[in-house]
Structure 1
């Protein structure tokens, strides 16, 4: 169970971050045993960095009458690493991969961010299944457990219709097959990027689909109701009634039914609780207790991955903090729960040897310790794991975040700077650098020399990266520009901004005509 990766919000984590170099020979010490097998027993991924690579893959798909599975990820991304540790190395996935053309886009490959713009993919990981005509059959739910993902993949491979067509028929009240309802229920709405529906309309759409699927596929109906509740944002979406509350109660009491919704309940327990019981009180306490029982079952379920079981514990801590201020550093938690948190983190650290699983689970364990107020333990776990990680800069960013939350400004900046310095790959360096610059502007706005130096380095990075003004890289640079303009709001840093604008002009002069406007607008005052 994995949510999209984010430096600001480690795994609870957007719903919803590991470049799959499918020879994998570059990191043999980190290879899971199943992935270290010969090429004949692994997925034949084709790396794509340009449109020509994509066209070649689709030409092969048409020739062989196969769909295309596109996987978009990054080396550092904990959820991507979780996919490698639990899905991509499964014998049934490897066997099933012979039925599709497997395409991998590493977000740090040259040209990758341009491809990201083409396919409307942002969050790592994103998996899209296409038919031979290039139409999206579905976006696969990376946060679901591997067997569930396999079932959805098999539905898509069985010659299904594009998800956009299926959704249009569902909205029009036309009859759908059970498989098509399942496709909608398990569609990765978290990585939709508004391809099917604008974000603001999503709760109402999911509720409408949930109502329509009732009596046809109850498991799908429950999933859609839970998804709708998860994105209501404290009452600003779906308005639950007594019937829906009763439905959720029945679901939580049913071990088999709740197990089928494990990924939604684990990732969104706090959001679901807020939606169903918006105000503190007896009703909320009763709901939290029922959620806690279900989550405990997930923790004890040996059929779930270690990441899924840990996610259930994270959700329990989030529920225990529900009525506390979100910024509370030392929440008052039950001593038994604290003991469980420490034991789970220690067990993960001791037992995990696979590099992919460590990148996913240890980052989550450190996040869990912090959520429980165990900051020293969180820091110790991250520091001891730096040499065991193939992407230690991700852990360094977490250390920076820990220090920042605790008001340790100098320590936070040291970790953010080191994370930027150690980061690898053009898109990743721009993202880590923009986070470092944002921390500097927030925590040390008086240090003009340091801020200008960091910004200048990022402009050098952009100059070398031909995909700098696309997707994730473009957003990183926009963040840099807005931070610098805000930093100079009173004109006190005009000299620094003047030098940076001169440097930026030289960068923009080298851009293609389509990218120049985005480049030239970076340091302009808004409004």
Structure 2
């Protein structure tokens, strides 16, 4: 990797102080209406939401809410593969399309209302505001279209469907399919299913799924293995093992469950074969064969094909330490990674697609131990990206993992300086501060100046302590509290707390933001 020349400490402190003094809310391009011939309604307030649902009720149409951000790679994947489809535009006549940009004024407060945090999130509501389902962003566009049509036809809130499933009451075939495809990863507590409980719930659903709904049952079984944070999960039963073998061996089935296979390959393999050995090797070989087919499937998007190759690399690394920077991989696989990254860089010319696939390609190169190639790809893509600060963060991560701390901090600093949008700037500022605390814990002046800059950003925003914003600032506070263990930096904390309390005091009494603001510097054990 080519290293940026590190500045001397004194010069860096002066340069940083000068830069931070000028930090303020940056002008930015909002995440404009997604491409395609869809009449998206932008929402930034309760009034906008009320207007959308009033129209939905008057026209007896559901509401499709899309929550995203301009820089978010999966959001850009949706723009490149779903929102620009003609059949999506035609289907949009059946619902009211509402676009919620996470950086728009008031967006984070609306995010709290709809229990959305992760970008992207797609939620389908009935005209009377009941949530019908959350659509997964990782399946391919054709499957999303099918799910959208199912949700439009169902009319039953997902909470009611899930309650009936838990109680053992009968469901329709379309309801089983909606449960099988439900986007648990962006649930954010909407259905009161904590991540740790997801595995047992999915296993229960898979076990009670009727044999007439084979596709839904198989998806639930696969996701019960791969989409769970549960510790000490029971070993998959013989029926589940047979399902996995069938899916891996059948090209059509592998294509149907592509999203689970590419996103959960290591988890599924380790669940079925917990220990290295012949059984695991055989399973990895079967998985790899299925992934090779997906990687070559021209009906899949470029991003999905890259995910298949990524899963192959992850499986090849499975029995090596996770922190290994230069894993031992088959030379042919490394060659494929290089070729795929080069092809992606050359052929992905659409701005939305590039923002989705270039970060994936760079991370894939890193996973294969090709760190220089990853950095070169990211640097050469900066001028081609509509959100280069995202790629700068990736460059910072790249340098940090290799121990190039000064270079990493320079990239994190640049990413913060160039980031656009109020919520984004708080998130990127938090990332930069976290890197400073981890990599230069004794540079209290630089850490204090950066924290002051982030708080200045918060002071200029009406929703700085709502939803994602509040979480960013809580993480910042927790990081600084830990940094001050034993009172080593109490003077800095006191200065920052004084600044913060001035911001908190301006928030209206009773506003949930006030509680979040007041709790930023409270140790985790004292927070409610």
Task: Note closer, same or farther for the CA distance 1:234–1:141 as it changes in structure 2 (3 Å cut).
Answer: closer
Mapped pair 1:388 → 2:384 = yes
2:17 matched to which residue of 1?
A: none
How far apart in 2 are the matches of 1:509 and 1:450?
26
1:132 matched to which residue of 2?
A: 127
2:434 matched to which residue of 1?
A: 438
CA contact (8 A) 2:198 2:228 kept: no
Say which SS state the counterpart of residue 212 (structure 2) adopts: coil
The alpha-carbon deviation at position 448 of structure 1 amounts to 0.6
The alpha-carbon deviation at position 236 of structure 1 amounts to 2.5
1:279 matched to which residue of 2?
A: 275
1:421-432 to 2 correspondences below 5 Å:
421-432=417-428
How far apart in 1 are the matches of 2:178 and 2:122?
14
The alpha-carbon deviation at position 235 of structure 1 amounts to 5.5
Task: Note closer, same or farther for the CA distance 1:127–1:234 as it changes in structure 2 (3 Å cut).
Answer: closer
How far apart in 1 are the matches of 2:518 and 2:229?
36
How far apart in 2 are the matches of 1:214 and 1:333?
42
How far apart in 2 are the matches of 1:214 and 1:403?
51
Say which SS state the counterpart of residue 216 (structure 1) adopts: helix
The alpha-carbon deviation at position 213 of structure 1 amounts to 1.6
1:193 aligns with one of 188, 191, 210? 188
> CA offsets, 1:378-402, max 9 Å, x none?
0000000000000000000000000
1:21 aligns with one of 7, 18, 32? 32
1:285-300 to 2 correspondences below 5 Å:
285-300=281-296
Mapped pair 1:357 → 2:368 = no
1:167 matched to which residue of 2?
A: 162
How far apart in 2 are the matches of 1:150 and 1:241?
32
The range that moved more, 192-201 or 314-323, is 192-201
Mapped pair 1:146 → 2:141 = yes
1:27-176 to 2 correspondences below 5 Å:
35=35, 42-176=37-171
> CA offsets, 1:303-324, max 9 Å, x none?
0000000100000000000011
CA contact (8 A) 2:30 2:421 kept: no
Say which SS state the counterpart of residue 279 (structure 1) adopts: coil
1:503 matched to which residue of 2?
A: 499
> CA offsets, 1:325-370, max 9 Å, x none?
1111000000000000000000000011100000000110000000
1:318 aligns with one of 314, 321, 337? 314
TM-align CA RMSD: 1.3
The alpha-carbon deviation at position 246 of structure 1 amounts to 2.0
Task: Note closer, same or farther for the CA distance 1:526–1:79 as it changes in structure 2 (3 Å cut).
Answer: closer
2:454 matched to which residue of 1?
A: 458
The alpha-carbon deviation at position 182 of structure 1 amounts to 0.7
Say which SS state the counterpart of residue 453 (structure 1) adopts: helix
Say which SS state the counterpart of residue 487 (structure 2) adopts: coil
Task: Note closer, same or farther for the CA distance 1:299–1:410 as it changes in structure 2 (3 Å cut).
Answer: same
The range that moved more, 48-57 or 234-243, is 234-243
The alpha-carbon deviation at position 159 of structure 1 amounts to 4.1
The alpha-carbon deviation at position 160 of structure 1 amounts to 2.6
> CA offsets, 1:406-453, max 9 Å, x none?
000000000001000000111100100001000000000011111000
CA contact (8 A) 2:195 2:230 kept: no
The alpha-carbon deviation at position 147 of structure 1 amounts to 0.3
1:305 aligns with one of 284, 290, 301? 301
CA contact (8 A) 1:235 1:278 kept: no
How far apart in 1 are the matches of 2:463 and 2:482?
25
2:217 aligns with one of 221, 224, 229? 221
The alpha-carbon deviation at position 153 of structure 1 amounts to 0.1
The range that moved more, 150-159 or 314-323, is 150-159
How far apart in 1 are the matches of 2:522 and 2:63?
42
Count of residues in Structure 1 that have an aligned counterpart in Structure 2: 494
The alpha-carbon deviation at position 234 of structure 1 amounts to 7.9
Mapped pair 1:480 → 2:476 = yes
CA contact (8 A) 1:231 1:237 kept: no
How far apart in 1 are the matches of 2:234 and 2:109?
36
How far apart in 1 are the matches of 2:58 and 2:499?
49
How far apart in 2 are the matches of 1:524 and 1:184?
39
2:328 matched to which residue of 1?
A: 332
1:517 matched to which residue of 2?
A: 515
The alpha-carbon deviation at position 471 of structure 1 amounts to 1.1
CA contact (8 A) 2:56 2:62 kept: yes
CA contact (8 A) 1:233 1:271 kept: no
CA contact (8 A) 1:379 1:402 kept: yes
How far apart in 2 are the matches of 1:236 and 1:403?
35
CA contact (8 A) 1:228 1:238 kept: no
The alpha-carbon deviation at position 253 of structure 1 amounts to 0.5
How far apart in 2 are the matches of 1:311 and 1:124?
18
The alpha-carbon deviation at position 19 of structure 1 amounts to 5.7
2:25 matched to which residue of 1?
A: none
Say which SS state the counterpart of residue 190 (structure 2) adopts: coil
Task: Note closer, same or farther for the CA distance 1:19–1:185 as it changes in structure 2 (3 Å cut).
Answer: farther
> CA offsets, 1:177-225, max 9 Å, x none?
1111111111111111122222222111111111222412111111111
2:485 aligns with one of 489, 505, 514? 489
Say which SS state the counterpart of residue 490 (structure 1) adopts: helix
Mapped pair 1:231 → 2:242 = no
